[in-house]
Amino acid sequence: MGKNKVYIETYGCQMNLADSEIVKSILKDKGYDFTEDLNSANVVLLNTCSVRDNAEQRIYGRLGNIKKIKDNNPDTVIGILGCMAERLRKDLIEEKKIVDLVVGPDEYRRLPEFIDTAYAGEKGIGVKLSKTETYDDIIPYRKDGLSAWISVMRGCDKFCTFCVVPFTRGRERSRNLESVVREIEQLSERGFKEVTLLGQNVNSYNDNGRDFADLLAACAVVDRSMRVRFTTSHPQDLSDKLLYTIAEHENLCNYIHLPVQSGSDRILELMNRTYTIEHYLNLIDKARKIIPGVSFSTDIISGFPTETEEDHQMTLEVMRKVRYDGAYMFKYSPREGTKAYKMKDDVPEEVKGRRLSEIIDLQQKISYEINQQLIGNSEIILVEGFSKKSDEFLAGRTDTNKVAIFPATEGIRAGDYVKIRITKATSATLFGEVEEMVSLSETKVNKTG
C-alpha cells in the first residue's frame, strides 16, 4: 500500500486557496494523490491563517479533532502550512505533539522532502522566507470549473501596524507578466470564464517596470469572454492609469476592493495606512467618474487601540459617504510581533463588539438600499450553475460581484452570459428574469507572444 493520499484543508484568504493549488501541483508531481476523506489520508495538511486570533483558535480546535485520527493511525503525517507555520514555527511542534510538519509559504517546493522526513520519524520544519520565490513556473492544480484564482504577487511591504502578513508572508515580489498571461491562456482553453488576480497589495505589482495596469490590460485581451477581477488594492497606490485601464476593457470587472480600515485620520495614522480620509474619498470620486457604475467593497476594523466613540462615528460616516456594496468587518485582534501589539489593547471587548454590530447593521442597510435601487435594471450575469436552494433556479454573478438568482431556462447553462431584469432584491442577493443571452464579446484575441 502506498502512503500517498493527501488531504488538504484551507483557511483564511484567497491567497491561501491559490497556495493550496500550488502545493497540490508540487505533490502531484511527486506521485501523490488527493482525498476529500480525512480518515483515509496518509498526510493531512492544514493551510493556515494568522490574521486574527480567532482564525488561529479555529485551527487549534481542528487539530484537536485530527488528533483522533492520529490516535487510530499513528503513521498519519500531520502538517501545518501557511501563516501559522511561519508565525509559530518550532513552538507549534513542541506545543502540539501531533504536528509533524511546519512549512511556511515560501518553502512549498520542499514539502515532499519534509513529508519524507516525517515518514522517517523526524519533524520537518521549513520556515525560511524568500525575497524571490513566486512559484512562477508551477501550474496550480485545479479542477475544471469557471472561476480560478491566480496569485500575481506575494508578500507585503506596507507594514500596517495591526497586520501580521508582512511577517508571515515576507517581502513583496511580483510574478513575471508573461507567465500570468500564459496561465490565463491555458485557463481559457479549459473553458474557465473568470480569473481573479491575487496579491496582498496588487497595486504595487512591478515586473521590470511593468505595473499592475499593464498586467491587467495584458490579461484582459487574452480572451474577451473571460471576466478578470483582482484583489486587494491599497488606497495609496491605486493609480489613474489603473482606473482608465479598467474603464477601457469591458471584461475587467467594475469592482474594486479598497480597504479603508477606519474613518478617522488619527487612527489611520496609528495604523500606518499612509492616507487620509480626504485622499480616500477623492479617490472614490475619481474612480466613479472614470468608471461609471463602479462598485466598491472594503475592510473595516473596529476597536483599534485608543479608538474613541468619535473615531468610531467617523468610520460610520465614511461608510455613509462611500456607500460600499459590501464590507468585511472585524474586531481588532492584537498580533504578536506587530507594532500595534506594543500599544495597549484598550478598547474593551464589549465596546469593540457593539461598534462592530453598528458597522455591520449600517452596511447591511446600505447594501439593501443599493440593491433595491437596481430593481428594474438589466444586469449581465455569468451563470455559475443551479442555485443552492433549488434546481428550478440558476445562480450567477454580476460584473460588480453580486449574486443573482433567476428561473432555470432551457438552453442556459453554467458558463453562459445572460442579461436579466432585476425584479427583487435583498441585501445579499438579486432576483430577476431572463431577458436574453449575450456574449461578453465574440472576439477571441489571438495569443500573445
Site string for ligand SF4, 202-241 (x = CB under 6 A): --------------------------------x-------
Length of the chain: 449
Provide the edge-to-edge strand list for the sheet that holds 147-151: 147-151, 194-198, 227-231
Residue 330 contact among ligand 5AD, ligand SF4, none, beta carbon within 5 to 8 Å by kind: ligand 5AD
Nearer to ligand SF4, 87 or 397 (CB): 87
Work out whether 222 is an interface residue with ligand 5AD (CB under 6 A): no
Q: Which residue has the cell 468608471?
A: 291
**79, 82, 104, 166: which one binds ligand SF4 (CB under 6 A):** 166
Q: Is 328 in the site for ligand SF4 (CB under 6 A)?
A: no
What DSSP string describes 290-348? HSTT-EEEEEEEE--TT--HHHHHHHHHHHHHH--SEEEEEE----TTSSGGGS---S-
In the list 163, 195, 294, 340, the residue contacting ligand SF4 (rule: CB under 6 A) is 163
Binding to ligand 5AD in span 372-411, by CB under 6 A: none
DSSP 415: T
Nearer to ligand 5AD, 23 or 51 (CB): 51
202 binds ligand 5AD (CB under 6 A): no
Report the partner that residue 200 touches, choosing among ligand 5AD, ligand SF4, none (CB closer than 5 to 8 A by kind): ligand SF4
Residue 151 binds to ligand 5AD (criterion: CB under 6 A): no
DSSP secondary structure string, 55-78? HHHHHHHHHHHHHHHHHH-TT-EE
Among ligand 5AD, ligand SF4, none, what binds residue 235 when CB lies within 5 to 8 Å by partner kind?
Answer: none
Q: Quick one: which H or E segment has residue 92? A: helix 83-95
**Contact with ligand 5AD (CB under 6 A): which of 43, 51, 59, 156?**
51
- Mask for 333-372, x = binds ligand 5AD (CB under 6 A): x-x-------------------------------------
298 contributes a contact to ligand SF4 by CB under 6 A: no
CA-closest candidate to residue 199, choices 168, 228, 233, 166 = 233
Nearest-approach distance from CB 276 to ligand SF4, in angstroms? 16
Residue type, 322: V
All residues at 6 or more sequence positions from 174 whose CB lies less than 8 Å from its CB, including other chains: 134, 152, 153, 199, 205, 206, 207
Residue 346's Cβ-count burial label (10 Å; 0-12, 13-18, 19+) is exposed
Query: What's the rounded Cα separation, in Å, for the pair 393 and 126?
Result: 47
Pick the closest to residue 266 from 213, 316, 314, 215 (CA basis).
314
Contact footprint for ligand SF4 (CB under 6 A): 156, 158-160, 163, 165-166, 200-201, 234
Residues that bind ligand 5AD (CB under 6 A): 51-52, 162-163, 259, 261, 299, 301, 330, 332-333, 335
